[in-house]
Amino acid sequence: MWKQVVGEHWRRLFRGDPDGARCMLPPYQLTESDGDVIIEIDLPFWICPEDVDVKILPESLHLSVRNECRLSRTYWQSRGGEKEGQPWEAVDVDESMWCLEDDVDEAGETVKTLMISLIRPPPTESEISWKKGKRQNNQTKERPGSLVRKGFRFFADDEDEFELEDLLAALCFVEVGSTWVPSKPWEANVPGKWVTEPNQLPASVQQRLKVLLNLRQP
């Protein structure tokens, strides 16, 4: 898995992957709460609203910024999720919105920030009665095969369906000496981070790193 061009920034590991999938740095910052999902994307300062096209649909989000980026993501869906005769919805399209704001990045440079606010629908009558008024969504869903882990990533495209994330992070670390470690959906308030030292890797990634290094020994 050698880089074709030294110094080139990887956006994906496999053909067909969306940008930022698996152990790649996502092109946006996503923050979730019980009521909404906020997506922020840093853009050059010269971008104006006319350069931006955002489509917030019932099942997916699509955006395009002229000469900068394109992004399509599908929301996590509750399987068999019809509630009280109504289709299960991840977002309230009519209440959701986006805006373009002036901002300053970590280097002190002027930038624009595209902010997309996806509003979650309110709890159903059943959820009010039986779930203490808490809407059941990707954050509350139990993971198969686990009694303690709850939560899926908001975008289905970002979910580690085949559990390759830790292995790929270890492999990236072996090849280039650093890797992006994404946050896990069941680990609340633990953000993703760049790692350049092996002892900073999560234990699960360190285990896979050890195996890979052992395989390289003559």
Q: For 119-138, how does the pLDDT look when each residue is reduced to its tens digit (9 = 90+)?
A: 999 988 888 888 888 888 99
Mean predicted confidence (pLDDT) in 4-14: 54
CA 152, 153, 157, 160 torsion-angle sign: negative
Residue 82 has pLDDT above 60, yes or no: no
What is the SS3 string spanning 48-76?
A: CHHHEEEEECCCEEEEEECCCEEEEEEEC
The pTM assigned to this predicted structure is 0.84
Q: Quick one: pLDDT band at residue 4, thresholds 50, 70, 90?
A: very low
Mean predicted confidence (pLDDT) in 21-32: 79
Lookup: tokens for 65: 């910024």
pLDDT of residue 187: 86
Q: Which residues pair with 83 in a beta bridge?
A: 86
Of 11-20, 21-30, 123-132, 144-153, which range is least confident? 11-20
